[in-house]
């Protein structure tokens, strides 16, 4: 990092030193596992400056003191400010095709009308609602199935948006017209500029605030886990630990879906690749070996 980035000398900027940056990124890494390299200096400043101004703080040293005095509440706001929530309905559509064409037919053949799915890192809800719509399309007798979609994220702000289930119309403009009309409702109060997710999809999804590094509150295994574009922010050790935990949390033969730029290469040998960034837990593997505690 150059000397120029060690401080913010101009009058319209809040003082942000290398010491401030190191303190905050180490705090975030310890709390969430998200690792920030030196190249994230500007991002930390730009994302957090607005927070400091809302709090009426003069500089980042004062913010560090505020964080120490209010660790529980402010750590949530800190993480909310720094996390990236790029998402869309039916992002990476081949994953939803896999559910429709592979997973649902396999459950039917097995005579098993139960399915438990976890959307880990669900952001503002587009991913779990896309899963719910896929199941509604694929299972005509869904009223006779036991379906549960658990959607979690570390960012409490985007979770609130998911619970609300209301989106700008341009978020669904790319979808097929039949799908838009069937699963979304125009909000008359906004002159059609916003839509809400249909009640059938909403009923399938449960939103929960959850930090992946904290103890997992799940007591029954999942058949499918979506964790897409999340592990790219973690160290290799944390990624390995997390994938081991996913293996421990999946039912036998369960599936793990990852993002387009992610893979399990040199991370885990407990899964077999069965599609584009789709992995199946190997049968007969003791997934608990090596999971251990959080790194």
Using an 8 Å Cβ cutoff, are 176 and 89 in contact? no
- Is 108 one of the catalytic residues? no
119 pLDDT more than 60: yes
CATH number of 3-82: 1.10.155.10
Active site residue 47: yes
How high is the pLDDT of residue 293?
Answer: 59
Q: How far apart are CA 229 and CA 241, in angstroms?
A: 16
pLDDT tens track for 165-197: 999 999 999 999 999 999 999 888 787 799 999
| In the chain, % of residues over pLDDT 70 | 91
pLDDT at 4 over 50: no
| DSSP secondary structure letter of residue 34 | B
Catalytic residue among 18, 47, 64, 186: 47
The reported pLDDT for the residue numbered 2 is 37
Could you say which DSSP state residue 214 is in?
S
Task: Domain ranges for the chain, please list them.
Answer: 3-82, 93-281
**Is a pLDDT exceeding 70 seen at residue 292?**
no
Query: Over 70: is that where the pLDDT of 294 sits?
Result: no
Pairing of strands 271-275, 278-281: antiparallel
Neighbours of 182 (CB within 10 A): 13
> Could you give the 3-state DSSP secondary structure of residue 153?
strand
**Count of CB atoms within 10 A of residue 216's CB?**
16
Report, at the CATH architecture level, how domain 93-281 is classified: 3-Layer(aba) Sandwich (3.40)
- Residue 153, pLDDT > 90, answer yes
Alpha helix ranges (H) inside the chain: 18-32, 41-55, 60-69, 71-82, 93-98, 104-110, 126-138, 156-164, 177-183, 199-204, 236-249
Quick one: CA torsion of 40, 46, 52, 57, rounded to 10 degrees? 90
pTM of the model: 0.83
Query: What 3-state class would DSSP assign to 209?
Result: strand
> Which of 153, 155, 228, 270 does the annotation list as catalytic?
153
Query: How far apart are the C-alpha atoms of 167 and 224, rounded to whole Å?
Result: 26
Question: What does the mean pLDDT of the chain come to?
Answer: 89
């Amino acid at each position: 990092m150059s000397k120029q980035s060690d401080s913010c000398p101009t009058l319209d900027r809040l003082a942000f030193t290398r010491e401030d940056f190191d303190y905050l990124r180490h705090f975030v890494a310890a709390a969430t596992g998200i690792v920030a390299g030196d190249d994230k200096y500007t991002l930390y400043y730009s994302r957090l400056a607005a927070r400091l101004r809302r709090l009426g703080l003069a500089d980042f040293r004062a913010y560090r003191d505020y964080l120490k005095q209010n660790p529980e509440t402010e750590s949530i706001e800190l993480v909310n400010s720094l996390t990236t929530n790029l998402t869309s309905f039916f992002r990476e559509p081949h994953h939803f095709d896999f559910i429709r064409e592979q997973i649902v037919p396999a459950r039917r053949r097995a005579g098993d009308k139960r399915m438990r799915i976890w959307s880990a890192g669900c952001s503002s809800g587009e991913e779990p609602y896309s899963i719910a719509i896929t199941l509604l399309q694929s299972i005509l007798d869904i009223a006779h199935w036991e379906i549960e979609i658990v959607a979690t994220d570390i960012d409490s702000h985007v979770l609130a948006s998911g619970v609300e289930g209301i989106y700008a119309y341009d978020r669904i403009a790319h979808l097929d017209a039949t799908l838009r009309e069937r699963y979304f409702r125009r909000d008359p109060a906004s002159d059609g500029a916003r839509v809400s997710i249909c009640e059938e999809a909403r009923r399938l999804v449960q939103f929960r605030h959850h930090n992946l590094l904290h103890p997992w509150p799940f007591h029954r295994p999942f058949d499918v886990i979506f964790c897409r574009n999340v592990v790219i922010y973690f160290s290799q050790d944390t990624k390995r630990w997390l994938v081991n935990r996913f293996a421990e949390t999946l039912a036998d033969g369960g599936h793990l879906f990852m993002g387009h730029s992610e893979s399990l290469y040199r991370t885990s040998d407990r899964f077999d690749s069965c599609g584009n960034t789709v992995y199946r837990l190997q049968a007969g593997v003791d997934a608990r070996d090596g999971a251990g505690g959080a790194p």
